[in-house]
Amino acid sequence: MKYAILAVLFAALPAQALIKTKLVEYKHGDVVLQGYAAWEDGFKDTRPGVLVVHEWWGQGPYARRRAEQLAKLGYTAFALDMYGKGVYAKDHEEAGKLAGAFFGDRKAMRERALAGLEQLKKLPFVDQGKVAAIGYCFGGTTVLELARAGTDLKGVASFHGNLATPTPTTEKPKASILVLHGADDNFVNPGVPAFIEEMRKSGADWSFVQYGGAVHSFTVPEAGTDTSKGMAYNKEADRRSWETMKSFFEEIFSDKPTK
Amino acid sequence: MKYAILAVLFAALPAQALIKTKLVEYKHGDVVLQGYAAWEDGFKDTRPGVLVVHEWWGQGPYARRRAEQLAKLGYTAFALDMYGKGVYAKDHEEAGKLAGAFFGDRKAMRERALAGLEQLKKLPFVDQGKVAAIGYCFGGTTVLELARAGTDLKGVASFHGNLATPTPTTEKPKASILVLHGADDNFVNPGVPAFIEEMRKSGADWSFVQYGGAVHSFTVPEAGTDTSKGMAYNKEADRRSWETMKSFFEEIFSDKPTK
């Protein structure tokens, strides 16, 4: 009995906890993009894959760090690129323009994201039947659009993503949907009732979590702590939302042990 | 290094996973009450204590089962009694009357619950600084009233509790608040906006989770699966809300390892 327990415990330990990363150049139509893959080295089995969609700034350190954190959980992660290789906004104005082009064209948003998803699926060790997507702010909207498009994903998790859409789904999404929302996020709040109505009507499998006191960008330390501007880091909400995402993944990838 | 890991792993295993239970008779004023304590036997350290407040039926098999589940997580649990020893409603009408007396008198609700909390704290091995409360339906309302009263609890979790109150708090509750709510719970939904406003204004530490497709009583298997009556079991929402509660406890009791 004790030996059996031991065997289980050792099986649950990583052989090595070494995280490997690489930049991956790829194309969508004529646009050259550059994503960032992160995975745990030293295992032979396939692992669930998680797509990471960046905030409105672009493919940069934040999304890469999240990909690395996912790798440490035992997933193969790919932080896609929505804007183009090396494109990273220098200020809010530029970020607004870059993201705005996709907010205004949901078809383009979905297609650009699907190009990234294809790259994730090409990575070694990705279990093709166990793929999910997470996104932050603009990226949260993007993963919700993937769900609305009926993309074959186990689940999507939106962190402070904008929930409004000109193209709500009327069909049940394949992906389970987890929305992680700051209760005081006044950028997103106006869209909440319509989103919940959309989820209800579509028959989606959805959960919606609100964190008291949290404003927009609550998972982003770089946002600072001054909530008066409507964007700020909230350590508790960051930690809680990440824990909820972990539990969500454990569920949707359930026949595979995760750490 | 390997030995250190082993030591940690064994330390995390229970010496014995034997759950002990007992009925506890106690009084509140002249009313004789009977609660149900559950704890894991075979440890010497103190453990966090969790109060369980029953649904409108009364102290019965459901609340006791939850107390046992909490004991299996390593907590000392006490399912209190709000109504009186042996009082258990035979139908909805009687349940409505029993619960209604407290819904209409929040002072009585708080005091009766505090009498139960006192019993929990008297149990052996309860860490007096690490106490929380959970409740179901009527019991969810009750634990929220404990939080509103400023009770010295690490946290309260309400499962499909009614959120409306005639006595909203204007002061920051000591307890962190976790609300686990069925998005289609039309008994509770009318009170949601005022509750969120109350939480905001009071400065509470609160999270609010909505489960799509879930109606009232979503954690109660005995409620059946016919959602048309507004009360039904929802396996996914049950599982998810329990996981969220576990994660909440791990946080609020954080300097103590839990299983």
Q: Is B256 exposed, middle or buried (0-12, 13-18, 19+ CB in 10 A)?
A: middle
pLDDT value for A16: 53
Number of Cα atoms under 13 Å in the Cβ half of residue B32: 6
pLDDT (0 to 100) of residue B124: 87
pLDDT score for B255: 77
Interchain proximity B207–A211, CB inside 8 Å: yes
User: Hey, what amino acid is at A101?
Assistant: A
pLDDT tens-place string over residues A77-88 = 999 999 999 999
Distance CA B149, CA B171 (A): 9
Q: How far away is chain B from the Cα of A153, in angstroms, using its nearest Cα?
A: 18
Q: Considering chain B, what percentage of its residues have pLDDT values greater than 90?
A: 88
Our CA angle for B102, B104, B105, nearest 5°, is 65
What stretches of B172-223 show up as alpha helix (H) in DSSP? 192-202
Which candidate from A5, A199, A210 shows the least CB-CB separation from B207?
A210
Residues B236-243: what's their mean pLDDT? 97
- B225: phi then psi, degrees, rounded to nearest 5: -120, 10
Structure tokens belonging to residue A231: 């964007």
The pLDDT of residue A45 is 87
Which residues on B lie below 8 Å from A211 (Cβ)? 207
- Average pLDDT for residues A133-144, to the nearest whole number? 98
Share of chain A above pLDDT 70, in %: 92
CB pairs under 8 A between A and B: 71
**Tens digit of pLDDT for each residue in B10-34?**
445 544 579 999 999 999 999 999 9
As a whole number, mean pLDDT of residues B108-120 equals: 98
**pTM for this one?**
0.91
Q: How confident is the model at residue A9 (pLDDT cuts 50, 70, 90)?
A: very low
Instruction: For B121-139, write each residue's pLDDT tens digit.
Output: 999 889 999 999 999 999 9
Which pLDDT tens digit goes with each residue over B164-211? 999 999 999 999 999 999 999 999 999 999 999 999 999 999 999 999
* pLDDT of B65 higher than 80: yes
ipTM of the complex, rounded to two decimals: 0.89
Residue B89 amino acid letter: A
Assess whether pLDDT exceeds 60 at residue B4.
Answer: no
* Residue owning tokens 């949601």: B192
pLDDT reading at B89 higher than 90: yes
Which conformational region is residue B65 in: left (phi greater than 0), alpha (psi within -120 to 50 degrees), or beta?
Answer: alpha
* CA end-to-end span of chain B: 23
Decide if B211 and A212 are in contact by the 8 Å CB cutoff.
no
Q: Cβ–Cβ of B204/A212 closer than 8 Å? A: yes
User: Which candidate from B177, B209, B212 shows the least CB-CB separation from A205?
Assistant: B212
Residue A172 near residue A203 (C-beta atoms within 8 A): yes
8 Å CB contact between B144 and B167: no
Contact criterion met (CB below 8 Å) for A38 and A20: yes
pLDDT category at A3 given cuts 50, 70, 90 is very low
| Chosen from B207, B249, B259 to mutate, greatest number of chain A CBs within 10 A | B207
pLDDT band at B42 (very low <50, low <70, confident <90, very high): confident
- Provide the mean pLDDT of chain A: 93
Average pLDDT over residues A51-63: 97
Q: pLDDT value at position A259?
A: 37
Q: Which CATH class is domain A23-252?
A: alpha beta
pLDDT at A5 over 90: no
Please tell me the distance from the alpha carbon of residue A130 to that of residue A121, in angstroms, as a whole number: 10
